[in-house]
Structure 1
Amino acid sequence: MISDFIRKQIRQGEGNDTEFKTDIHNLETIARTVCAFLNTLGGTVFCGVDDKGNLVGVEDAKDHLQKIHAYLLESITPKALFTVNIDNEDGMDIISIDVPEGKDRPYVFAGSVYVREGGSTRMADAEKLRDMVQSKSVAAERWERRPSMAMEESDLDRDEVRRTVQQAKESGRFAFANDADDIAILQALAVYSAKGFTQAADVLFAKNPALRHPQTRVRVTRFASDKSGDTYLDDRLLQGPLVKVFQQTFEILLQHVRWETRFQSGDVRRTDRPDYPFEALREGLVNAFAHRDYSGFSGGITVGIYPHRIEIWNSGHFPEGLQPADLKKNHPSLPTNPDIAHVFYLRGLMERIGRGGQLIINACQDHSLPTPKWVDRPTGVTLTIFGRTGHEKELLSPNPRQQALLAQLERGDQIRPGEYHQRYAVDVSDRQARRDLVELEEAGLLLRIGKGASTVYRRTDRT
C-alpha cells in the first residue's frame, strides 16, 4: 500500500521534484529526468501515473525493476545513488524512482547535462553548466571518495564482495556485468579508481578497517535503568566491514527487544508483538551508518538499549537547512555518503533514499508508539525510539481535560480537534486544546490520522 507521504506527493502533481510517467517503455525519457533531478535538488519519478496524477499502474513491474536500475546506473555518469521501488495501490503497481540531489555534478546522460525547471526537464545552458563546474572545482572532495592511503589488495575481504554481488542479484536491484572480478565489481560501485581503493572501499570491504579508521567501530550498551549513567548489563565494541558490523548490531538489538503477549477479548488465540517495530530499528541503524561523518577519528556510532527506549547516536548532522521536524513531510534528500549508502541499498538494507525518517515515524505510529525524536547537537545526531511502556517524561501527568478524554475514549474510538475543544477544553484556547492532543499523541495514547480539516485522533491500546 502506498504511504500517506507518497500519496500526498502524487496528489500535489508534477513540479520541480515530481515527474509522472504513464509507462516505462521509454527509458531514455526517464533517464533524462533522473539526470535532471541529480543536477538540481532531487526528486521522484513515478511510473504508472498519468499526467493528471491518476494511477494507471505498470504491468509486470517486478520484471522491469532490475532493468530500470541497471539502465540508469550504466547510462548516467558519474555513478550516482538513487533507489527504485514498487508500490501497490488498489491492485496496481507503480514504480517509484527516488533521486537525491547529486554530490558529483554535473551528471551526464547521452552526452548532455539536464536540469529541472518547474515541472519540466531541459538541457543545461552554458551558464548553468559553468556554475556546476565552478562549484565542483572549489568543493572539497568528500571523505568517502578520497583515495585510501593504506589499504592494499591483501586487505580486501573477498567474501564481503561476493555477498554484495549475491544480495544485489537477489534483491533484483543490480546485476554486475563482470561478477567474477572483484576489482571490476568495486569499479562498478565507484569505490575503486585509477588511484586505487577509496575510503569507502576501505570501510565497506576491508577485513578490518578499524586498524586505519577507528571511528568505524560501533559501541552497543544495554543499561539496567533509563538513566544513561547507570549500571550497564552489557557493553560491546564491534568492528569489521560496515555491513557486517551493521548486521551484528541489529542482531544484538533484536536479542534485547522484549515481546508482549496478548489475548483479545473473545479470542482464545495468543498475539505476540515486539516492543519496537523492527523496520524502525533497522532504518534508524541504516541512517546512522549511511549518513554519519566518517572523517574524524573521534566519530562513531553508539547504541544505547534502555528498558523503555533505544537511542542511536552517530557523529553526523542534518544537511544544511533541514530540521528534525522536516522528517515528517516530503523533503529534499542530500545523503552524506552516497557511495556507502548505495552498497547498503544494493544489499537490500535500505528501501528508499530520502524517506527513512518517514518510514520510522510510520512504523512507530502503526505500533501505537510515541513519535520518535531526532536531536541534532554539535556532537552528532541522536534518534530516540520510545518503547511501549516508556516515555513517561513526555507526559508526566495528564491534565484534567486530558484525563476526562481518556476516561471516555475506548480503544479505537476517534475524536476531532474541534469536538475535543467543545466537550473537554472549552475553558482554554483552541491552540491549547490542540496542544493537549499533540501531547497525548507524543505519549502514544492517541494516534493522529489525516491532515488539516480531516484530522482525527484515535485512541490507542496503550494505558
Structure 2
Amino acid sequence: MESQRTEWKRIWKDEYLKSICAFANSQGGDLLIGIDDDGTIVGVSNSDRLLAELPNKIRTTMGIIPTIRLVGTKDTPYLVIQVEGYPFPVSYKGRYYIRCGSTTQLLTGLELDKFMLKKQGMTWDSVATPSVSVTDLKQDAIHDFSSRAFQCNRLSKSHIEVSDSLLLKNLNLLDGNHVRRAGVVLFHPSPEQLFVGTTAKIGFFLNDADLRFQDELTGPLIELPDKIIELLYTKYLKAEISYKGLYRVETFPFPEAAVREILLNALVHKDYGSGTPIQIRVYDDRLSIWNPGALPQGITLENLFRNHPSLPYNPHIANVMFKFGMIEAWGRGYEKVQVACATAGIPVPTVEVNPSGILVCFKAPRGGLNGGLNGGLNGGLSSDSDRILQSIHHHPGARIPQIVEVTGISTRTVERHIKTLKSMNLIHFEGSKKTGGYFIVPKKLYEDRVSES
C-alpha cells in the first residue's frame, strides 16, 4: 500500500516529478509507474521511452540521479523509480516538496525555513542576528547567569571571570561579532522587539470563553521562569489554608517543582520560529501550559515519562539553561514531575500533542482551586454575594473599597453581603481595622467552625 516511502501511479505525468523531489527531501522512497491506486498492476506501454527520458529529465530539473528499473512480467511491466534521501535541499522549479504520510506537500513560510535550516545542520537558535551585538544585551542578566552557573558548579571561576564577549563566545552564542538568536532570547532586555512570541501569556478563565484577567510577561529568557512562577503563585493560584496550632499553613493545588519543570520544557523547547508565545491558562479546576513545539524525534507519549535521551529543540538555549542550573541534560524532566505529583498526592499531568503544539494539563485536587469556596457558592448565594466571594478569593486580604472597585457593587450593598458571608462562616477578617482585610475561610477551618457552633 502507499506510504511515506511508496507511491503508485497508473501512468507517468511530468507533475510526478514533485513526488520524486519530495522523496529526495525526506527519507527517500519508491515511485512505481504502472500500478493503480488500489495496488493492481496495470503495466506501462511506453517503458522503453520512459527508461530513456526520465533519468535526463530528473537530472536536469533537480540535479539528482535516481535508480530506474523495469520489473514485473512481459505482459505487465512497470517502472520502479528509486530515490535516495539527500542531505542537501532539492528543489523542483524553485520549489521544495517533502513527504508527509502518503502525500506530497509543498513547503512554504515557516515550514520551509525550518526545512532549510535542518538540511544545513542548523537550528533556529543557532542563526546569527546581524543587528545585535554584545553591548545590546542586558548586563545584569549575563552577570546573574555567571553567578548562578558558578554556584551550581557548572562553570568554573576561570570561566566566569572573563569579559561578556568571551563568556558568550565560550557558550557558542556568538557568530563572529553577531549574537546568535539564542543569545538574543536569553539575554536581550526586550527579545520580543526582535522576535515575536518570545513572551509568556497567563490568564485566569472561568471557562474557555470567559477570561477574567491576564498578564503578559516579557524580558530575557534567563529571568522569565522565576517571574512566571512568582506571578502564578502570588496572583493566580490560591492556597488552601489550614492551621497547625497557631500557625497558618498554605498548600497550593499544584506542586511548584512539577509546574516549574513543565514550564521550563515549554520555554526551552518551544518553536520560537512560530512567533507564538507560550500560554498558561488557570481555571478553577486545572492549570494548562501550552507551547508551539513538538516532541523530539523518536520520543513518543508512551516513553515521555520514562527515561529517555535529552534531544533539545533549541540546543544552544538548552545548553545555557543547563549551565544556569534550570534544567538537566539527561531527559529526566518528566520523571521529576511524576515524583513531585506523587509526593503532593495529585495525578500526573496529561500531555496532548497535536500539529499546533504541546498542551500539558494539571488537574486540581477534588474541590477545585477554590477549596471551601465551592461549598458556599453551591449553597444558594445571590449573584452579588457570589461576585464578592470570587473577588475575595482572587484578592486575599481585600478591603471593602477594593471589593467595590473590583465588583462594581455599591459600598452599602457590599457591606450588607459581607455581613451575610461572615455569618455563614465563608469569609473572615484578619488583621487590624486599619490594615487588615477579608479572607476566604478554608474548607477544613469552615467545617471545624460549623461543628463548634
Matched residue, 1:10: none
TM-score by length of 1: 0.51
CA shift, 1:137, in A, is 9.5
Q: Does residue 171 of structure 2 align to residue 189 of structure 1?
A: yes
How many percent of aligned residue pairs carry the same amino acid? 27
**What is the 5 A alignment of 1:151-162?**
151-162=132-143
- Contact 1:191-1:200 within 8 A present in 2 as well: yes
Q: Does residue 264 of structure 2 align to residue 283 of structure 1?
A: no
1:268–1:235 distance in 2 versus 1, CA, 3 Å: closer
Partner Cα separation in structure 2 for residue 199 and residue 318 of structure 1: 21
Partner Cα separation in structure 1 for residue 241 and residue 284 of structure 2: 17
Matched residue, 1:236: 215
Query: Higher relative contact order at CA 8 Å, sep ≥6: structure 1 or structure 2?
Result: 1
Say which of 207, 216, 225 aligns to 1:246. 225
1:271–1:138 distance in 2 versus 1, CA, 3 Å: closer
Where do 5+ consecutive residues of structure 2 fail to align?
1-116, 370-453
Matched residue, 2:124: 143
Matched residue, 1:210: 192
TM-score by length of 2: 0.52
Say which of 262, 267, 278 aligns to 1:301. 278
- Contact 2:240-2:252 within 8 A present in 1 as well: yes
Say which of 170, 174, 178 aligns to 2:151. 170
SS in 2 for 1:334: coil
Partner Cα separation in structure 2 for residue 177 and residue 344 of structure 1: 16
Partner Cα separation in structure 2 for residue 300 and residue 149 of structure 1: 23
1:378-408 CA-to-partner distances (Å, cap 9, x unmatched) read 111011111123689xxxxxxxxxxxxxxxx
CA shift, 1:366, in A, is 1.4
- Contact 1:178-1:184 within 8 A present in 2 as well: no
CA shift, 1:269, in A, is 7.3
CA shift, 1:236, in A, is 1.2
- Contact 2:173-2:183 within 8 A present in 1 as well: yes
Partner Cα separation in structure 2 for residue 257 and residue 278 of structure 1: 11
Partner Cα separation in structure 2 for residue 162 and residue 344 of structure 1: 14
CA shift, 1:258, in A, is 2.2
Where do 5+ consecutive residues of structure 1 fail to align?
1-135, 393-463
Query: How well do the aligned residues superpose, as a CA RMSD in angstroms?
Result: 2.6
Larger radius of gyration: 2
CA shift, 1:375, in A, is 0.7
Give the AA of the match of 2:233. Answer: L
CA shift, 1:346, in A, is 2.2
Partner Cα separation in structure 2 for residue 317 and residue 311 of structure 1: 16
Give the AA of the match of 2:309. Answer: P
SS in 2 for 1:370: coil
Matched residue, 1:450: none
1:244–1:269 distance in 2 versus 1, CA, 3 Å: closer
- Contact 2:337-2:348 within 8 A present in 1 as well: no
Partner Cα separation in structure 1 for residue 135 and residue 323 of structure 2: 24
Partner Cα separation in structure 2 for residue 382 and residue 320 of structure 1: 17
Partner Cα separation in structure 2 for residue 269 and residue 254 of structure 1: 20
